Amino acid sequence: MVDNTKTRLLDAAQLLVQTRGHNGYSYRDLAEQVGIRTASIHYHYPTKTDLTVALVRRYREAIVESMANVAVTKTALSDRMDAVCQAFAETLRCDSRICVSCALAGEYLSLPSEVQTELKELISDSETWIARFLAEGRSRGEIASDVDPVLLARLWYAALQGALVMARASRTDTLAEVTAVLKQITMSKPK
């Protein structure tokens, strides 16, 4: 029988980070969620830093896998950006969660340096995928040729993260509204 305690711990920690933040839970909270003793958590993850680094790495891997799938299955920029936005919407629909990067970014200055490093990589990876989609769309004439895909990707990423937080706090369609505006200002008629 395979011991999936590590996976259960990461799943529960992810839920707690996405709903309470890194500083909003303890190993005792995590132990209650998983149904094990606190000492058992320390066996798998000696410190909360170790756990959070593993969590962010796993989240990054999931983003890479998801975006690689989008790159293969979608060719039109509009469809690709819809898929990116859909990922944010799905996060919010799941227990009113926000993205791990957004949850941790709000606590950045109080995070251990190892977690800060992983968080920067998560943000960079996410922005890089969006920039890739935008650059490929630009080369196909789907957006204006003078648009800087890297800067536009940062705008998309920051706007979607902010919209996710505001949608959770206000229970409005903020995320859908921001998505529509982002698409409107990004997409241009091919010339």
**Backbone angle region of 98, left / alpha / beta, with phi > 0 → left and psi within -120 to 50 → alpha:** beta
pLDDT digits (tens, 9 = 90+) for 88-120: 999 998 888 999 999 999 999 999 999 999 999
Domains belonging to the chain, first-starting first, are: 55-186 (1.10.357.10)
- Side-chain half-sphere exposure of 166, counting CA atoms within 13 A: 13
> How high does pLDDT run on average in the chain?
94
pLDDT in tens, 34-77: 999 999 999 999 999 999 999 999 999 999 999 999 999 999 99
pLDDT in tens, 128-156: 999 999 999 999 999 999 999 999 999 99
Closest CA to 60 of 25, 94, 10, 16: 10
pTM (global) more than 0.85: yes
- What pLDDT is stored for residue 65 in this prediction? 97
